[in-house]
Structure 1
Amino acid sequence: MTLTEKKIGFIGTGVMGKSMALNLQRAGYLINIYTRTKEKANDLIDHGAVWKESIKDLTVASDIIITMVGYPSDVEEVYFGENGILEHAKAGSCLIDMTTSKPSLAINIFQQAKAKSIHALDAPVSGGDIGAQKGTLAIMVGGEEDAYEALLPLFKTLGENIILQGPAGAGQHTKLANQITIASNMIGVCEAIIFAKKAGLEPSRVLESITTGAAGSWSLSNLGPRMIRGDFDPGFYVKHFIKDMTIALESAKEMDLDTPGLSLSLQLYKELAENGDGDSGTQALIKIFEKQNL
């Protein structure tokens, strides 16, 4: 059986998961789908995805299971619940958790899966809604090399920068390093836009100059223009970024590592959420700086 002939069970069709599942469908993969709110999967069902009424039903009917849910608690429920994946997955099947979650949880999933002759990879992604739509995500993988190589064609449908970082948990550790980088960068993007406005400059024109130089970053190029337009629709939710930064901060403390930039960013994003922007995109951070400086 070729990879495209295997049935893929996809759990979680949020802002990014929906586009990822759709890209798999377009590439010819057979998709089973489950999400808490069926309406969120209607587009996928219209394109031929088979709806399953429970995680158990999806697991039993699938050879490869991809999860893209919200929080570590959701991952635990999906994998370890009485009707969860590990209880019902077939020997020889493959599990891929693409949620940003705790490295320790990824290791636990791997160990319990291996005891049942099931392959498991942690493969969180970066690139937001745009990367998910275009199939250009960065995919950071932890797990065994044989499973990674076997699933690489599937990953190439979803992303472009795909790297096996090490054993189980390494993908999650890498994603946390990614989020730590973004945390401080987002502060810099906001400060630069506010500075440009205060100086009487046209912020969009300023971005044309600085995005191609040493200051360039994905956040500056993609989220900076959204900030200027006042477009705060979520490519990645504030509430989920707070979750990621909290996990990163906890992991840093476990390693006796001081991360002042991460701590400040988490503080600012928590303030943003308290002001009612938990479901906004991360670019809404500019509101905090506008309130303080304009």
Structure 2
Amino acid sequence: MRNKILLRCNCRIFAVFCRITLYLKEKKENRYMLSKDTTVGFIGTGVMGKSMAGNLMNAGYAVNVYTRTKDKAQDLIDNGAKWIDTVAELASSSEVIITMVGYPSDVEEVYYGHAGILNNAQAGSFTIDMTTSKPSLAKEIYEKAKEKKISALDAPVSGGDIGAKSGKLAIMVGGEEDAYTSLLPLFEVIGENIILQGDAGAGQYTKMANQITIASNMIGVCESIMYAKKAGLNPERVLESITTGAAASFSLSKLAPRMLQGDYAPGFYVKHFIKDMTIALESAEELGLATPGLSLSLKLYKELAESGEEDSGTQALIKLFE
């Protein structure tokens, strides 16, 4: 009789244990579950941010928007985005907060302080900084967010206005794998080459590698075009040959034609490229690495900006060679 009672008790304890385990498993899964009912807050609707937010709306997500100049978000608002008056209000009313601002100082402004994201976002929410910023700042935001039970990723992008409009950006992610996996459906709306590079800061380090590559490449594209012209060749026809060979690159296939057309509208601002190269140069120096190509490109772009071209697209570099 006693053994039967003990058996029943053990069965009941085991059943309770199973229910608790199932509850905790479901709770964890729900913590990382994303759906079209998720509200996405988007801060920064410039050349690229506007298209990125628009693609999320087109995919069915409810989007809250905030930017310093409301007019820049007007098209999104007209198409159904909800305008939010402050960063604090946007953070508290969104499950996922995406930032796409200009400079590291802008990132600090929207994340920190009494009215910033980290002081107002809900525990269990996500932040994604898609600004090209300092790796050290990305690590710092991750640590401060973790203290508040907020999952923070750094996820800078590459592809310019063209990639942003088409939803084909390259997205370089740093942070925890669980958070990355949860947010992958959002990333797949914005981009197509999406890779978790490592822990917090890894996304920004990868973006620096990207910008270092572009820096020297842009000089080569300009020199190539001018060489073709000096040799009496048709530069458009030259591009037809070399854009599909070993010299192929985004800069050559997408920006070189703009150079030839005299189209200097910004897909990516000269001033923002200078910011990126400055961060990359400082980071390389911290790592004890010499980057002469990057240094030369930064020098030339600063010269271009000083001539009044800081708000032009990066393809305006050709003006220094003409």
TM-score interval (norm. to shorter) = over 0.9
- What residue is the counterpart of 2:37 in the other structure? 5
How far, CA to CA, are the matches of 1:20 and 1:28 in structure 2?
13
Q: Say which SS state the counterpart of residue 165 (structure 1) adopts.
A: strand
**Correspondence for 2:59 among 15, 27, 47:** 27
Unaligned runs of 5+ in 1: none
Q: Do structure 1's residue 138 and structure 2's residue 137 form an aligned pair? A: no
How far, CA to CA, are the matches of 2:226 and 2:48 in structure 1?
29
Question: Percent sequence identity over matched residues?
Answer: 73
- What residue is the counterpart of 1:197 in the other structure? 229
Aligned 1:1-294 pairs, distance under 5 A: 2-290=34-322
Segments of 4+ moved more than 6 angstroms? none
Unaligned runs of 5+ in 2: 1-32
TM, length-normalised to structure 2 = 0.89
**What is the CA distance between 1:147 and its match in structure 2?**
0.2
TM, length-normalised to structure 1 = 0.98
Deviations 1:76-128 (A, max 9, x none): 00000220000101000000000000000000000000111100000000000
How far, CA to CA, are the matches of 2:196 and 2:287 in structure 1?
22
> RMSD of aligned C-alpha atoms?
0.6
Alignment length (residue pairs): 290
Q: Say which SS state the counterpart of residue 36 (structure 2) adopts.
A: helix
| Structure number, greater radius of gyration | 2
**What is the CA distance between 1:4 and its match in structure 2?**
1.4
Letter in 2 for 1:260: P
**What is the CA distance between 1:2 and its match in structure 2?**
4.2
Deviations 1:132-172 (A, max 9, x none): 00000000000000000000010000000000000000000
Is the CA contact 2:129–2:154 (under 8 Å) kept in the aligned structure 1? yes
Letter in 2 for 1:220: L
How far, CA to CA, are the matches of 2:34 and 2:98 in structure 1?
18
Deviations 1:246-288 (A, max 9, x none): 0000000001100000000000000000000000000000000
